[in-house]
Structure 1
């Protein structure tokens, strides 16, 4: 509740669109900006006496090298970065209650931040003087590891949350996505985020007492598309893009006495896919339709989800063979920085693995999901005020 109050205050004082256009992110409790503002208001001495305020990247670089440096592609989720110019935004820094000297230096992803100190090298078994390279956020690095570094491709991470990203050569901001620095340091990544992805599948297994997700998936394959009239809005953890509403909650609509756990399982998979389709449509209005969407993450192991997702998105999905695509993206940045390749893009061309398989839409499912998508599109608006009112009395 406290960060949400800070979001409302900042939106009123600085302007919602100004914050979005400066930082690339619509006001939302996720960036650290709003927690810092709470500290300024309630623990001002603690923040004033802090030698530095850092993100995870800067913390590790400092431990490894002794220097306070972070990457523009890692630090911008703090909500303090001027996304267009790659510098700390003075208005946002001031609003957070910070002094400029409290923030780390900024480096582009793929730049050398420093070298490994002798004491740390001795402790971890690496060579002193090993260069430490500026990285990127997990989503951007994952996209790079999957070969998404320029126009024409998009990535889809089916993990505990669902994240998709498209490249943009120019800075563009919208409520439909959040704007991040590209992992190559050239251009930007536009990302959509659904907080409740595969963790919602885990929730169903726990709640229904099913032996496993595999058992529910097998049963759900016999359920007709549309889950016999069941529709799920997967906002169990609120919603970021496109509504940026922390008060939103999940909804299960259309329940009857005939529904069983297998119907709920399939309806959840359909809800995740419908949400992604609407997010992808909004993002591609800015970037154009991607020629290829490359998927990774635990959700790619669910054959039913992949079939539903391809059919709802009405495009083939190419599945990455790399489980740790974010680590591979980081390795690409390191390989470029030490001169193995001329640029991160060249490293990605050489190091990205070919997709392991392709999942095509099931043509017979497409009309059904098109019709359901139009109903789903109105579900948030139909329930928004109810969730707000419920939140106010709990």
Structure 2
């Protein structure tokens, strides 16, 4: 009994509840989806009640399979920056505003001017950008002031779930941090940022460190899920940090590379450090910090190419692109289809395809996109590692992009380092499970849980010797592309706004 922990991964599209054993093996997984609303350009919303229904369904499915008596604890990883407002009974007052949302670009400009761009970055760890909830909350203060004033609390996904599961209004510092309201160094709400958002201190959940027991499962929810009343609910973390922990990245010497819809790279830092070249986040272990670079448009560009060119599939394009020479016959792609976060933090930036000729075909574009993603990551990693003491000895990759042999060869060659591929399919949920396992005493710390519950990578991809110097030269040309197109994209955006 009590030999299983459940890790929750509440992503942008679904809740996954996964039962893990003490050695990190997945025993059973249940997945419940929910819709995403895009009511206006740049507005991305969800109904938090859909999250709750999905969570209950996933937990019920896992409990039915493994048995309530085996579940020692539950912990939560979740889509970051996403939030909603609730009343005193926990009912959502507005549609949840997602991390994808871009409605608050004017508030980014205003708050940067009022508080100082560097001050916001150094307080919160995050350069001003529409992604943190701070700016969307300020948007609500301007456009829906009554809803903001009447709200009992603002909650991230973790806080919403914990309140529903236990009755306590509490969230993890590693969950709330991406909202952009925390003093990242001290792990407490920052009064200036809270005031700038238009919030009152009494509207903020209690903060606890990841791995803390938030409370026990209420009798009412126990009846809905089949779990035992009082089952410990353990403070988790945002999905990015939890994913790193689930991949075994919890201290110096390793970094993670997530090749998903977006491309996220992170490494551990014992000391707080802030910069425009990365975001600084609370570590999921509660000790130290995680530094991250983010490319918003990653593997979704592959889907874009398939759709736009009318190709049969990504696999067919990749098969054709393998025979294209490195450099894609003079084609260069800057993959800013969704703007750029680190290191430029420029929402007006857009993608660029340079060097097109009548000889180019979809296969050339496919390879050039993969090369552009790799160039972008290399420049981001160089900037981050230049401020943190050099290259980590190991980089562990995960996500759908690792299924592309061509991308992995290009990425290793451009980064000039070997890549290990994580054998973990559900790293965010496993990271949450590690926090649960540590909290119930299976292991002495989250770090010890990560060592015990993470399988060693068995697949490794080395740089291709001849490609390294070629891509090194090519990367320097790519480095100038943003600066060459920045003003053009800004002017195009201004013309669009006027129309």
> Does the TM-score normalized on the shorter chain lie above 0.5?
yes
Q: Partner of 1:101 in structure 2?
A: 202
Which is richer in strand? 2
Alignment of 1:173-322 (within 5 A): 173-287=274-388, 288-322=390-424
Q: 1:165 aligns with which of 266, 269, 274?
A: 266
Is residue 348 of structure 1 aligned with residue 454 of structure 2? no
SS class of match (1:358): strand
Q: 1:384 aligns with which of 480, 486, 498?
A: 486
Deviations 1:323-378 (A, max 9, x none): 11111111100000000000000001111110021000000101110011000111
> What count of residue pairs does the alignment treat as equivalent?
394
- Take 1:95 and 1:165, find their aligned partners in 2: how far apart are those partners? 29
SS class of match (1:62): helix
RMSD: 0.7
SS class of match (1:157): strand
- Take 1:212 and 1:154, find their aligned partners in 2: how far apart are those partners? 31
Q: Partner of 1:117 in structure 2?
A: 218
Deviations 1:307-336 (A, max 9, x none): 000000000000001111111111100000
Deviations 1:72-115 (A, max 9, x none): 11111111000000000000000111000101010111111111
SS class of match (1:53): strand
Q: Partner of 1:36 in structure 2?
A: 137
Is residue 73 of structure 1 aligned with residue 136 of structure 2? no
- Take 2:458 and 2:244, find their aligned partners in 1: how far apart are those partners? 16
TM superposition shift of 1:42? 2.3
Q: Which ranges in structure 2 are unaligned for 5 or more consecutive residues?
A: 1-101
- Take 2:320 and 2:146, find their aligned partners in 1: how far apart are those partners? 58
TM superposition shift of 1:2? 4.4
- Take 1:325 and 1:48, find their aligned partners in 2: how far apart are those partners? 38
TM superposition shift of 1:38? 1.3
- Take 2:298 and 2:158, find their aligned partners in 1: how far apart are those partners? 25
- Take 2:219 and 2:140, find their aligned partners in 1: how far apart are those partners? 36
SS class of match (1:156): strand
Which is richer in helix? 1
Q: Partner of 1:332 in structure 2?
A: 434
TM-score (norm 2): 0.78
- Take 2:449 and 2:123, find their aligned partners in 1: how far apart are those partners? 31
- Take 1:152 and 1:111, find their aligned partners in 2: how far apart are those partners? 26
Structure 1 outlier segments of 4+, above 6 Å: none
